[in-house]
Chain A
Amino acid sequence: MSSRRSRITEDEINELISKLQSLLPESRRRSLGRVVELQASASKLLKETCNYIKNLHREVDDLSERLSGLMDNMEMNSFEAEIVRSLLRS
């Protein structure tokens, strides 16, 4: 029962985990031809993901500030301003 269900979704989960791992800016050994060390346990990976997302959030905030700063220097009607505004809107 639980084993069945877990077996069915376990592969799924493993695949998702590996996908996630690939997205993370892990410090792989580039020298080894980008051999990925799959020593990440699920919990470690999740933790890394959380941290990474937080970092990205911070980066987005930072960039948004910069963009808004840029906006001040742009003409209001140029499409750059439009773009920036759209960027900020997202």
Chain B
Amino acid sequence: MNDCVPDWKMEDDSRPFYGLPVTNEKKCMGYSCRPENELTELLRRNRHGVLHGQTNHKALPAIFESKQTQKPESLLKCGDSVVNSSNFIDEEEATSWFQYSLDNSMDKELSEFFYGMPTAEIISTDKAMKEDSNVCTKKSCFHPHDNVMLSPKSSLGDSATVVKFSNHRKPRKADLVSENRKFCEEASSSEAVVGMADSSSLRKILSSVCGSNQAQNEAEVTHALSSVKGAKDSLSRSTLDHLEANTYEPAITSSSGGSRRSSTKHGLKRKGRNAEESEGQSEEAEYESAEANKAAQRPASGRRSRSAEIHNLSERRRRDKINEKMRALQELIPHCNKSDKASMLDEAIEYLKSLQLQLQIMWMGNGVAPMLFPSIQQYVSCMGNAMNHHSMTSIPNPVQPPKVSSDIQSTTLGTSISNQPHVCPPQGPNSINFATQMHNFHIPEQYSSYFGFPQMQMPPQVMNICTYGPQTMQQNQMVAAVDKQQHTNNKSSI
């Protein structure tokens, strides 16, 4: 791996990579090694096929040159991002590459070239190339350059590669159908049986996943491939998984894994090499090579799609993290049967508030005045007054009274501040605490659902309790409590 990685890194540095250093590296490892071989082959092939005499030839020759002179990676400049991101988005890359090539230059030229590139991976059969290119073009063609794609096919070969692309791209293009057909034909005949098997398996999965016309295409392909599949079941399985996840995300690589797989498929096709390589390795390598090819082929579109894919992947990861945390939160909250985020957050907020309130009350009940505002004596008195209305009764039904009492208390607090009954002094700390609490939490009753808490009833009694407790202790607590209460009150009042 290491040797491959350095290659990639170097290449990447030289080229304007699109920022997929880390992830790509891993993938590139196996991948980079291969692409060189593949690329060279592709280049050679493409050269023949592509040079059709269109203005864009230069684009291709340039690619050839770069390839020839340097490692294949260099060639993949445009595709390097693809390659790198191949890890993520094997499919995407391919398609993007195709498109890219199409966009930039003569579609035909490029398409041929590109097709040749990816097919090189598979290199199953020359004649397959034709088909492959057609297929590939169809599939990967994001742009409406279909016609272009079709033309160069002759030079391109590996049907397997084509199939690969088609596999990946299936959701994208209706072309896949035709491609698939071709692929199927090719597949059966081509050497890349192994690759095909994978692709077929993938296709199957894809078809099942896509379930659309594309799926049909896939099915066709898969049929063809299924016959060949055998050895590569495992590979195809992995690809399938990917495909399932990714298939429906044409533009966005559903996941790097998916892309990986798709690349793997490519690798399979490459020349039956897949059969030789270990599945994981081959997949990676192939994927990378496929990506490289793709990358080379489509410079602009590849980049765009690649970054989009990368973005999607990171976005997906982020979303997964958040969902996981939401689930954890849901477990913490009692009696939470909501599943959507907003209501979950709502519940969490309420629960948190009620927990805080409960804690405050408990602190008070403990004879510790967590937060006391000495200046809130008036509140205390008011509270006392208000509470006196209800305090005579023993602790009544927790749920009901609180509502009533809270209303009364809140109103009382507001209105009867002037009252400075005798009750105040002894109840200082706790009352204050409660007063502030009640004042701020207009809805303590909603919390009682969590606790069955006779909140409203508490104040007077709690205050009594507090009077029982040592005043000194309360004083000590006051300082600490004030801060805490302040903090909590501020929060709740927000």
Contact = CB atoms under 8 A, between A and B. Distances in A.
Interface string A26-59: 0000000000000000110011011011101101
Interface of A: 9, 12-13, 16-17, 19-20, 22-25, 42-43, 46-47, 49-50, 52-54, 56-57, 59-60, 63-64, 66-67, 70, 79-80, 82-84, 86-87, 89-90
Contacts, number: 122
B365 interface: yes
B363 A82 contact: no
B346 A23 contact: no
Given A56-B352, A63-B363, A87-B365, A9 B342 contact: yes
A83 B395 contact: yes
Contacts of A13: 341-342, 345
B329 interface: yes
Given A13-B341, A43-B318, A82 B398 contact: no
Nearest to A19: B349
B54 interface: no
Give the size range of B's interface with the partner: 35 or more
A49 B332 CA distance: 10
B75 to A, nearest CB: 38
B88 interface: no
Nearest to B459: A83
A21 to B, nearest CB: 10
Q: Most chain-B Cβ atoms within 10 A of its Cβ — which of A52, A53, A59, A87?
A: A87
Interface stretch (B64-72, B299-307, B319-327): B319-327
Interface of B: 318, 321-322, 325-326, 328-329, 332-333, 341-342, 345-346, 348-349, 351-353, 355-356, 358-359, 361-363, 365-367, 394-395, 398, 448, 450-454, 457-458, 461-462, 464-465, 468, 487, 491-492, 494
Contacts of A70: 365-367
A83 B355 contact: no
Interface of B is mostly: helix
A16 B332 contact: no
17 contacts: A19-B349, A23-B492, A25-B487, A42-B322, A43-B318, A43-B322, A49-B348, A52-B352, A56-B359, A60-B362, A63-B362, A70-B366, A79-B394, A79-B395, A83-B462, A90-B358, A90-B452
B458 A83 contact: yes
Contacts of A59: 359
Contacts of A16: 342, 345-346, 349
